[in-house]
Amino acid sequence: MKPHFGRMSGIAVVMGLMLTGGAAIASDNHIVVAPGGPHPYFAVWEQAAADAQKDFGIASVKYRVPSDWKLELQTELMESLASQGVNGLGIFPGDPVGVNSTIAELKTRGIPVVTLGGCAQDPTDAVFCFATDPYKTTYTMTKALIAAIGGKGNIVHITGQIIDTNTKLREDAVQKAIDETNGAVKLLQTVADTDLDPTVADQKISALFAASKDQIDGIIATAHNSSAVTAKQLRSLGDKRIKFIGFDDDQAVLDDIKDGFAFGTYLQNAYGQAYLGAYALDLLASKTCTMKADAPWDKSPQTVHFIDSGVLKVTADNLATAKDEMKKMATGIQSKFKATYLNCK
Amino acid sequence: MSTTDLAPTPRARFEIAPQLGLAIIVGLLVVVFAWKQPGFVSSFNLFGMGRSLAVDVTVGFSQMAVLATGGMNLAVGSIGVCSVMFAGYLMQDLGLPVPLAFLLAVMLGGLLGWLNGFTIVRSGVNAFIVTLASANLYSGAMLILTKAQPINVLPPIVSSIGSYEILGYASPALVVALVIGLALYVFYRYSVPGKETLMAGANARAASMSGIAVSRSIILAHVLSGVLAGVAGLMVVARVGAAMPAVGGEDWLLPSFLAPVLGGTALAGGFVSVVGTFLGAMLVTVIRSGLLFVNISNFWLQLFLGLFLLAAVLAQRYRGLFRMRLT
């Protein structure tokens, strides 16, 4: 059976919550979790929403997807949901800056909004952001790649859309890790705009390999589709010399790790983001809990109300045990969430 | 020019039909959606729809201005985003007052439109090719200059304009769109440059032989288109309270054609419908919002819009054949 960690981590969170008394008092809240547009990363959110509804006794937790990655479509969806009586929204911001005005309007109508999987840029009225820290994760990934290539050589960064502010953070993080090698490692190229359209990604990464395959010692991919396409191309090239560190759990990446075409990948806690997001929104919308003013927030370059949803490094060494490690991480976050961040009546 | 107020000759009655039919369809859809989900006509949703409608209408007017000459402007979104980022730069980095920044940003839109028109006239190359190239040129230059970073420390008045509710229902942007529509109606119906633009679009050779400066009309149309694209961009700036590089671009291309074409504006030039463009944008906005309310996936939106667009184009073709029979 091929491993699929997004779903596995979800099951793990459910089990953890049941063990820790997560089956809360039934509520009449209507919660929605909505990504910024269609993307395979969010596929597991639908199950997470259904599980959260069942496990916490919430009237409804729905997963709604704008038909395209356009901020306008997401804000229209948010406004429409508010008009339909939804009283808690968890969103991946279609744009970290542009979404703020809608969040502010919803707040004035008493609807709490949390950002999941990605943050809104401060100043924002989003209650908190529960996501992977793009800067910290990319820095960690780059350090791991540098170690994997022996501390010297040329690396390539394959990343998402250039108009995504997270892309700039990722580029900065890669550069910081490279600068710390004092010239031993060089950034050969950054290939951006490879996340939303796999066809475009395929063309760009093909061109990259055609032009400079022999000069590349390591590749880091910091977006879901970018990672999946790179993994497929490395396999088709039959190249095990280039060290590749991917992102998320596309089956192509996991297979590459197993067969030696990829050094490793970093898994995000996608399921946990939606599941715990719905849990928190239910408590906030019920007015039974408020956020602690002195909660131990992490800080990200985008917001000072950041909660790291965590990542897990997976290599051939822990491919088989990654499931248990994800379970440990997810249950750890959940078990402490209410006590750490909320004041409840 | 809109024909909704022409004398009811057989031909005029026939040409009123598209706008009337569109108005009936929009009205029916509003009734159906409101019946299925009363929240559809809640003040919050009407306000939100009005704000989206204002942008769609203005983008549609921007395209309509060039369709009047028989051309097209594929750079509507690119000009819009250039105005957006320029306005942000003027307000945040140079600290200019909001009205002045908005005015200069709209002027930049007009300048970029003028460049399009000038290139088309001087080179003789089709508007499709020229504006396709300039769309990439303008967007590329904007991304290089701004490094794709949003400008989000704007004066608070900017977002206050965007969130201001007139009588609890209407957005100031919608009022601006209505005023623009009225001005365009007057321009095409009563002004000499407006009439000349339509004549140049209907038959450039005949217009030229009648002493109309066709080249000047084409350039004017593109300037007008650029100005309107800039205004649409500024509506978005007010809406989100920030200048973002993701605004406009290719996202505006389909809406820019949908509104005028659904409204009866002739793709071949020589005939525009201001009222129809407004109704066309309204149809798109109502469907988009209504589908969200009746819980039909927004993925169906593309299907519906495609069907309506095809029906509008076929109706235009049918009207053309009918006119030929009448004459």
Are A258 and A1 a contacting pair, CB within 8 Å?
no
Q: Residue A3 has what pLDDT?
A: 40
Q: What is the pLDDT of residue A18?
A: 45
Q: Looking at the predicted structure, is the pLDDT value of residue B231 above 60?
A: yes
Neighbouring CB atoms inside 10 A of B173's CB total 26
Residue with tokens 């920044």: B101
Q: Which of A294-303, B11-20, B238-247 has the lowest mean pLDDT?
A: B11-20
With a CB cutoff of 8 Å and minimum separation 6, the contacts of A64 are A32, A33, A34, A77, A81
- On the question of pLDDT at B170 being above 60, the answer is yes
Domain boundaries, chain B: 46-273
One-letter-per-residue 3-state SS of B285-308: HHHHHHHHHCCCCCHHHHHHHHHH
Q: Using 50, 70 and 90 to split pLDDT, how confident is the model at B319?
A: low
Average pLDDT over residues B41-51: 88
pLDDT for A265 equals: 96
What CATH architecture does domain A5-132+269-344 belong to? 3-Layer(aba) Sandwich (3.40)
Identify all chain B residues contacting A76, using CB atoms and an 8 Å cutoff: 48, 52, 288-289, 292
Whether B26 contacts B283, CB under 8 Å: yes
Average pLDDT over residues A256-261: 94
Residue B41: pLDDT band with limits 50, 70, 90:
confident
pLDDT beyond 50 at A57? yes
Pick the range with the lowest mean pLDDT from A89-98, A182-191, B160-169. B160-169
Chain A CB contacts of B289 under 8 Å are: 76, 80
Q: How far is B39 from chain A (nearest CA, A)?
A: 5
Fold agreement between A5-132+269-344 and A134-261: yes
Residue A19 has pLDDT above 50, yes or no: no
Please, what is the average pLDDT of chain B? 87
Give the closest residue to B282 by CA, choosing from B56, B67, B77, B16: B56
CB contact under 8 A, B241 and A163: no
- Whether residues B251 and A162 touch (CB distance < 8 A) is answered with no
pLDDT at A179 over 90: yes
Instruction: Please tell me the distance from the alpha carbon of residue B290 to that of residue B33, in angstroms, as a whole number.
Output: 6
Chain-chain contact of A97 with B293 (C-beta, under 8 angstroms):
no
Beta bridge mates, B190: none
- Contacting residues of A for B242, CB less than 8 Å apart: 97-98, 100-101
For testing the chain B interface, which of A32, A80, A95 should be mutated: the one with the most B CBs within 10 Å? A80
Smallest Cβ distance to B239: which of A70, A77, A101? Answer: A101
Q: Spell out which chain A residues touch chain B, with contact meaning CB-CB distance below 8 angstroms.
A: 65-67, 70-73, 75-77, 79-85, 95-101, 104-105, 109, 121, 162-163, 165, 168
d(CA B45, CA A241): 57
pLDDT of residue B298: 64
Query: Looking at residue A42, what DSSP letter applies?
Result: G
- Please say if the pLDDT value at position A8 is more than 60: no
CB contact under 8 A, B297 and A67: yes
Q: Is the pLDDT of residue A213 over 50?
A: yes
Instruction: Please give the average per-residue pLDDT across B239-266, as a whole number.
Output: 86
Residue A196's pLDDT band (boundaries 50, 70, 90)?
A: confident
Q: Between B7 and A260, where is the model more confident?
A: A260
Of the candidate ranges A42-46, A163-167, B176-180, the one whose mean pLDDT is the lowest: A163-167
Kindly indicate whether the ipTM for this predicted assembly is greater than 0.90, answering yes or no.
Answer: no
* B305 band by pLDDT with thresholds 50, 70 and 90: confident
| Closest by Cα among A147, A148, A88, A120 to A274 | A88
When the candidates are 3.40.50.720, 3.40.50.1370, 3.40.50.2300, 3.40.710.10, the CATH number that belongs to A134-261 is 3.40.50.2300
Determine the pLDDT at residue B70: 92
| Per-residue pLDDT, B151 | 86
Assess whether pLDDT exceeds 90 at residue B244. Answer: no
Q: What is the pLDDT of residue B193?
A: 94
CA angle A111, B244, A165 (to 5 degrees): 80
Give pLDDT tens digits for A279-321: 999 999 988 889 998 889 988 888 999 998 889 999 999 988 8
* pLDDT at B204 exceeding the cut of 80: yes
Q: What is the pLDDT of residue B320?
A: 64
- Pick from B53, B244, B285, B300 the residue to mutate for testing the A interface (most A CBs within 10 Å): B244
Only one residue has tokens 């942008």, namely: B55
The pLDDT tens digits of the residues spanning B49-84 come to 999 999 999 999 999 999 999 999 999 999 999 999
Distance from CA of B251 to the nearest CA of A (A): 8
- Sequential DSSP letters for A82-136: HHTT--EEEE--SSTTTTHHHHHHHHHTT--EEEESS-PPSS---S-EEE--HHH
Distance (Å, rounded) from C-alpha A199 to C-alpha B263?
35
Across A213-231, average pLDDT: 93
* Residues from chain A contacting residue B136 (CB–CB below 8 Å): none
pLDDT given for residue B268 in this prediction: 86
Taking 60 as the threshold, does the pLDDT of residue A15 lie above it? Answer: no
In this prediction, residue B107 carries a pLDDT of 97
Output the CA torsion sign for B245, B246, B248, B249.
Answer: positive
- B37: chain A residues, CB-CB within 8 Å: 84
pLDDT band at A25 (very low <50, low <70, confident <90, very high): low
pLDDT band at A138 (very low <50, low <70, confident <90, very high): very high
Q: Which amino acid is at B323?
A: R
Compute the average pLDDT of residues A324-343: 81
Q: Which residue among B37, B159, B302 sits closest to A84, beta carbon to beta carbon?
A: B37
Higher-scoring residue by pLDDT: B111, B166:
B111
Cβ-Cβ contacts under 8 Å for B183 (sequence gap 6 or more): none
| For chain A, domain boundaries | 5-132+269-344, 134-261
Of A2-6, A208-212, A301-305, the least confident: A2-6
d(CA A222, CA B106): 38
Q: What is the pLDDT of residue B3?
A: 39
Rounded Cα distance, A237 and B281, in Å: 49
- Which one, of B58, B112, B60, B61, lies nearest residue B83 by Cα? B112
Assess whether pLDDT exceeds 60 at residue B321. yes
Confidence of residue A10 (pLDDT cuts 50, 70, 90): very low
Nearest to B159 among A72, A82, A101 (CB): A101
**Per-residue pLDDT at B18:** 66
User: A163, A166, A172, A200: which to substitute to probe chain B, counting the most B Cβ within 10 Å?
Assistant: A163
Give the 3-state DSSP-derived string for chain B, with helices as H, strands as E and coil as C: CCCCCCCCCHHHHHHHHHHHHHHHHHHHHHHHHHHHCHHHHCHHHHHHHHHHHHHHHHHHHHHHHHHCCCCCCCCHHHHHHHHHHHHHHHHHHCCCCHHHHHHHHHHHHHHHHHHHHHHHHHHCCCHHHHHHHHHHHHHHHHHHHHCCCCECCCCHHHHHHHHCCECCCECHHHHHHHHHHHHHHHHHHHCHHHHHHHHHHHCHHHHHHCCCCHHHHHHHHHHHHHHHHHHHHHHHHHHHCCECCCCCHHHHHHHHHHHHHHCCCCCCCCCCCHHHHHHHHHHHHHHHHHHHHCCCCCHHHHHHHHHHHHHHHHHHHHHHHHHHHHC
Helix (H) or strand (E) holding A311: strand A311-315
CA distance A155 to A177: 11
Strand partners, A246: A265
Structure tokens at A127: 């209650």
